[in-house]
Structure 1
Amino acid sequence: MTTTRRTQQQRRDQAASALLNAAAELVVEQGVRALTLARVSERAGYSRGLVTHHFGSKQALLERLAHATQAGFVPGLDGLPPGLDRLLRLIDGYVGALGRAGVAHRAFLLLWAEAATAPELAPIFRERDEAFRADLREDVAAGLADGTIRADVVPDEAAIAIVGQLRGIGLQRLLDPEAVDTERLRHSVTEQWRRALARA
């Protein structure tokens, strides 16, 4: 029986993934202020030097964590053209995914909430929110252009409202999972946005 040896890149990727997962677990369990490179390395079972080699600083680690946890939260959207249909699928998928959110996505929401009072987090999450709003604005602009979205909808205002609602539902789910039934809620929230945006 032969075993395939992992390449150096595969070992680096595996270590980085384990370190990010350890960081997410620590954020969920103890909050960002308790997060240190030493604790991340201990949790992941690697040396402190490897954590420093991969990220260099706590700030860089938090930036990577924010990017990694937000990416791919709603699968299945990549092949869809921008517009109202994609926007509504994103809303539906996002609320549904909150019910299945793993430790990484819970860490993202906790870090996002803490960014309001943590100067080291604020720039990271301003950038993440702006990227999210930009995607939403693109969908609204495309819907305006093809006539599926009402002409009086302002893309930036709609994007701000959608991000606020989705993140707010996520935080409520973290605080009281039993009170926030995401499977039921996803349909009503999506329908609210359909009625708010769609041209009659």
Structure 2
Amino acid sequence: MAVDSPTGRRTQQERRERTESALITAAAELVVETGLRSLTLARVGERAGYSRGIVNHHFGSKQALVEALAHATQTGFVPGIDRIAPGLERLLAVVERYIGALGGVTVINRAFLLLWAEAATAPELTEIFRDRDEGFRTRLRADVEAAIAEGSVRPDTDPGDVAIAIMGQLRGIGLQRLLDPDAIDTERLRHVVAAQWRRALTMSD
């Protein structure tokens, strides 16, 4: 006699996760192609090869879908950073790897940059991306503080100012890359920008 085993339940969960991943990818593609305003559950379902009912079943509303997309786009942009100890080298690795990642940006990462830019005028995104940005700045500040403590960065450096400046620079480069990919040589630029920050943080006035 067949038994409804834990393995069966895991298979059902895997199917659900695959469906949600396909819907998120479809939503990201549509955001990149036509923007957030034109995103609908029906269009997402059609792009992913499912019915609108499936999209409703998984997310319930456009707002829930947008929130899921926003959270999905915010993961994994700069992998491997957590394996580096906090301090100057990790800070510079974030700068270098972030710009390097822009050279092979995926549809999910493109959607992230577009949604981030749109968050300034889209209330459904503002809080999500405000929290994300604060988390990014917090990690950057922590690296600057650790670098000051270890003596590799000038003690008169303001960690908060550096965090704001680095995040603004990285996001700005990302948006330029979206607008004019051929104008941004990410392989060269990632080394240039990291070297500039090393000099700025370690040189005396």
Shared fold, TM over 0.5: yes
Q: Does residue 22 in structure 1 map to residue 20 in structure 2?
A: no
Q: Does residue 100 in structure 1 map to residue 104 in structure 2?
A: yes
Quick one: which of 47, 54, 62 aligns to 1:50? Answer: 54
Counterparts of 2:161 and 2:24 in 1: how far apart (Å)?
33
**CA contact 1:133–1:160 (8 Å) conserved in 2:** yes
Counterparts of 2:197 and 2:55 in 1: how far apart (Å)?
43
Deviation of 1:91 after TM superposition, in Å, equals 0.5
Deviates more, 1:87-96 or 1:124-133: 124-133
Q: Does residue 84 in structure 1 map to residue 85 in structure 2?
A: no
Counterparts of 2:200 and 2:29 in 1: how far apart (Å)?
38
Deviation of 1:137 after TM superposition, in Å, equals 1.1
Q: For residue 131 of structure 1, what is the aligned residue in structure 2?
A: 135
1:92–1:46 CA distance, 2 compared to 1 (3 A): same
Q: Deviations over 1:88-143 (max 9, x none)?
A: 01110000000100101001101111111222221111111111111111111111
Q: For residue 151 of structure 1, what is the aligned residue in structure 2?
A: 155
**After TM superposition, which residue ranges in structure 1, 4 or more long, deviate above 3 angstroms?**
none
Give the aligned length: 197
Give secondary structure in 1 for the equivalent of 2:123.
coil
Deviation of 1:56 after TM superposition, in Å, equals 2.4
Deviation of 1:199 after TM superposition, in Å, equals 5.9
- Kindly report the root-mean-square deviation, in angstroms, between the aligned alpha carbons of the 2 structures: 1.6
Deviation of 1:53 after TM superposition, in Å, equals 2.5
Residue 19 of structure 1 aligns with an amino acid whose one-letter code is L
Give secondary structure in 2 for the equivalent of 1:74.
coil
**CA contact 1:86–1:139 (8 Å) conserved in 2:** yes
Residue 85 of structure 1 aligns with an amino acid whose one-letter code is E
Q: Deviations over 1:59-94 (max 9, x none)?
A: 222222222222111112121111111110111000
Q: For residue 122 of structure 1, what is the aligned residue in structure 2?
A: 126
Q: Deviations over 1:18-40 (max 9, x none)?
A: 01100000000000001111111
Q: Does residue 166 in structure 1 map to residue 180 in structure 2?
A: no
Residue 49 of structure 2 aligns with an amino acid whose one-letter code is G
Counterparts of 2:202 and 2:67 in 1: how far apart (Å)?
36
Q: Percent identity?
A: 69
Q: Max radius of gyration: which structure?
A: 2
Residue 10 of structure 1 aligns with an amino acid whose one-letter code is E
Counterparts of 2:53 and 2:75 in 1: how far apart (Å)?
27
Q: Does residue 188 in structure 1 map to residue 192 in structure 2?
A: yes
Residue 86 of structure 1 aligns with an amino acid whose one-letter code is R
